[in-house]
Amino acid sequence: MKRLDVPPSGHTIPMPEGAKPPRPEGVKPPRTVMKEFKVYLAGPITGLTYQEASLGWRKEFAQMLADGPDGDSFLCYSPMRGKAFLEGVGKLEGHYDGNPMSTRGAITGKDKNDVYTSDVIVANFLESQGNFSVGTAVEFGWADAWSKPVIMVATPDDPHYKHPMLSRIAGWIVSNLEDAAHLTRHLLLPGI
């Protein structure tokens, strides 16, 4: 076995090119990994087209978060992901049993999992057209049961805003997506 000679005190051992010097004892490495936060984008789907439901406000909101500071920290999840087969259907109905992604069980299971695994739920009712979204109301219930923060985007004349339980579950109620994005950042990003 070859013996490594230890240099006399005061001398340094040459380091191979590209190698990092050892970290002094008690010194923590710099924090380089930023947590990614999951944001679930809830809101009415029935009565909208595929384009409106999947690419409308949800795409706009995800872009608002991406454009801001620490934008790469946010992962936005839409209940419409994996449902491109609905493009061209026209106004969407509650479910489509002809595809495994849009059966009653699939919709419930995926949306329930999304709420459970999210860090915050943003529910936008600005395009609800006065119709009450039962599915989103159920998602509010799941969020409340699992202590997930909920940001509601609605105007005072919206039935979701007026509903006593939904407005109570929502920790924050704002009237535009910009304020919702601002709140999302403040809820999830570290700071003093």
The answer as to whether 181 is a domain residue is yes
Helix (H) or strand (E) holding 37: strand 37-42
Choose from 8-17, 26-35, 78-87 the range with maximum mean pLDDT. 78-87
Please return the burial class of 106, using the count of CB atoms within 10 Å of its CB with bins 0-12, 13-18 and 19+.
Answer: middle
SS3 138: helix
Long-range contacts for 93-98 (Cβ within 8 Å, ≥24 apart)?
93/46, 94/46
Residue 69 belongs to domain with CATH number: 3.40.50.450
| pTM of the model as a whole | 0.80
User: What is the per-residue pLDDT for 32?
Assistant: 52
The answer as to whether 8 is a domain residue is no
Please say whether the beta carbons of 161 and 132 come within 8 A: no
pLDDT band at 5 (very low <50, low <70, confident <90, very high): low
How many independent structural domains does the chain possess?
A: 1
User: What is the per-residue pLDDT for 153?
Assistant: 98
Boundaries of domain holding 48: 37-188
Q: Is the pLDDT of residue 26 over 80?
A: no
User: What is the per-residue pLDDT for 60?
Assistant: 94
Count CA atoms closer than 13 A to 65's CA, side-chain side.
28
The answer as to whether 87 is a domain residue is yes
Q: Is the pLDDT of residue 71 over 90?
A: no
113-125 tens-digit pLDDT? 999 999 999 999 9
Q: Which residue has the higher pLDDT, 164 or 25?
A: 164
Please say whether the beta carbons of 85 and 50 come within 8 A: no
